[in-house]
Amino acid sequence: EYEVHGHPSACITKKSPTGVDGDDDDILLELFGNGSAETTLELNEWELGEASAFADNDTVPQDPKVDATWSLSAVGCGAPDFGDRDSMVLGEVVAPDKYSLDACECFGEAYTDTAPVTEDSNSAVPRRRGAKKHGFNSFPVRSQLIAQGPYSCEFDRNSVHLIGLSEQKCEEACKERNAGDAGSCRFYQYSKEGSGFCALLGACDHIGHT
């Protein structure tokens, strides 16, 4: 589970054969139809300014528009050159002195006081007061809208259906059920028709048109 905070990083548009970017073409259709898609990333000016404050200008794009390729296959990666061992760090990432994070990972509680984690970064991590366990980086995540309109998740025998609830009460019922049995309600579906229909779902692997 993760939640992304902050400014939008970039807008993505598809590059047309004429060289003019446009929003009319579906990037995902192109990607899954051909295996790859040529796109343009228009980087947010705030992100560029933030990056410039912490990195060399040579590594930060000067033009907010950057060409990019989406691909279903992984980019090939050659074997590293072990001739330059002095510039390499070798070892298991589980070792206390050897760990790395990608752009979407957060440091764990064991590394709160370990370089390169700064005091500002450590203090910015939310902590649930009085929690005996799972208190680090623990905070309520707001519900995210997946779809609206004539669509429905596929119900199964574990789905719970409630009548006469408001949308807010439906959300609360899902959170209460999940608190008592983790994973039992990861999604909820609400319809305003009639007196209000609420479905509590442990999964939503398929969405169909109703």
Per-residue pLDDT, 198? 96
Per-residue pLDDT, 114? 79
- Is pLDDT larger for residue 78 or for residue 32? 32
Per-residue pLDDT, 3? 44
Q: Per-residue pLDDT tens for 18-72?
A: 444 444 467 888 888 888 888 888 888 777 777 777 666 666 667 788 888 888 8
Give the count of beta carbons closer than 10 Å to the beta carbon of residue 201.
20
CB 125 within 8 A of CB 117: no
Which residue type occupies 157? R
Mean pLDDT of 74-91: 74
Longest dimension (CA), the chain: 72
Which residue type occupies 122? N
| Mean pLDDT estimate for the chain | 79
- Is pLDDT larger for residue 145 or for residue 2? 145
